[in-house]
């Protein structure tokens, strides 16, 4: 077994930050859907089991989309019976439409997420629909889930920039967010899909949403580290009152429909920062690093997480 170093960040709290942050782990879904090879369901289940053992309590497990579009997650029905539902762990799943909702419901999903866009071009490229058509598609999905007592999150991609349309106006994102909340979404995850956000932009958007009646408590943030800004942006969101941050173990992930999108914010890197700020996460960093190192071995490549790289001893493949 790989031996990890035992260093931990020195804790120095700052005023104006939340006492506790929920990490919404997306590695098993958003991370593995971008792998060139299909990871076996048993390996995915072990990955999730290890994440739970490390202390994560909200883990996006899979996606009930058409296997034609995301073959890496075509085993959703096979994976779900392998999951351990004890200790209050939540396993949200992504659903694109009513057919996906039916599959998720039959599998026993208790939380779902829909994947909206803030720009017209990305909606057409990702969903093959206009913005309005995509929102019309999501409305019965959200209503049906809420009627059954299933929790609903709504992702909003391209909130900070779009590779085809460029800068995305804040009021445009707010308008889409308001429509999703009006149809019943309980949480919004603001996606920096191509990693172009900066801290001031993040604070401005969170503040604009609050003025529009969507408080930071109902907002999550989802950053990619294309320009090395993910941690800085996460801190800006926390300073603005957000308490839920999406992250991916080992920095897995990207976006198959936006070539300029690189990996997600690594969960280990986020945990290191949060623990250094004295913020409670409930996560065992050593166990998490070991899990991501193990997953990197399964994938046959090193983890891009800076913390994983720093904490592996010399001589271990990184």
Q: Which residues are catalytic?
A: 255
Q: What is residue 31's DSSP assignment?
A: I
Q: Other C-beta atoms within 10 Å of 160: how many?
A: 26
> Residue 275 is encoded by which pair of tokens?
């623990």
Q: Is 272 exposed, middle or buried (0-12, 13-18, 19+ CB in 10 A)?
A: buried
Q: Taking each helix axis from N to C terminus, what angle separates 285-299 and 41-53, rounded to the nearest 10 degrees? A: 170
What are φ and ψ of residue 20, in 5° steps? Answer: -140, 140
Contact residues for 300 (Cβ-Cβ < 8 A; gap 6+)? none
Whole-angstrom Cα distance, residue 276 to residue 9? 5
């Amino acid at each position: 077994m790989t031996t990890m170093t035992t260093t931990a960040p020195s804790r120095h709290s700052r005023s104006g930050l939340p006492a506790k942050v929920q990490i919404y782990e997306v590695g098993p879904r958003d991370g593995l859907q971008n792998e060139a090879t299909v990871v076996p369901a048993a390996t995915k289940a072990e990955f999730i089991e290890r994440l739970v053992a490390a202390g994560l309590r909200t883990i996006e497990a899979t996606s009930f989309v058409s296997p034609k579009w995301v073959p890496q997650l075509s085993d959703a029905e096979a994976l779900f019976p392998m999951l351990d539902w004890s200790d209050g762990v939540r396993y949200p799943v992504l659903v694109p439409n009513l057919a996906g909702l039916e599959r998720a419901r039959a599998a026993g999903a208790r939380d779902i997420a829909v994947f909206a866009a803030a720009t017209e071009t990305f909606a057409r490229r990702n969903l093959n629909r206009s913005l309005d058509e995509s929102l019309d598609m999501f409305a019965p999905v959200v209503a049906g889930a809420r009627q059954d007592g299933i929790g609903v999150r709504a992702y909003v991609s391209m909130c900070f920039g779009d590779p085809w349309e460029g800068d995305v106006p804040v009021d445009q994102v707010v308008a889409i967010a308001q429509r999703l909340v009006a149809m019943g979404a309980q949480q919004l995850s603001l996606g920096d899909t191509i990693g172009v956000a900066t801290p001031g932009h993040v604070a401005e958007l969170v503040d604009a949403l609050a003025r529009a009646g969507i408080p930071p408590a109902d907002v999550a943030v989802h950053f990619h580290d294309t320009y090395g800004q993910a941690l800085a942006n996460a801190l800006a969101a926390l300073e603005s009152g957000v308490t839920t941050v999406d992250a991916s173990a080992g920095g897995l992930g990207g976006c198959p429909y936006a070539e300029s999108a690189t990996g997600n914010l690594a969960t280990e890197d986020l945990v290191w920062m949060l623990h250094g700020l004295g913020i409670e996460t409930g996560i065992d960093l050593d166990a998490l690093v070991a899990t991501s190192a193990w997953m990197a071995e399964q994938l046959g490549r090193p983890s891009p997480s800076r913390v994983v790289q720093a904490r592996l001893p010399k001589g271990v493949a990184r």
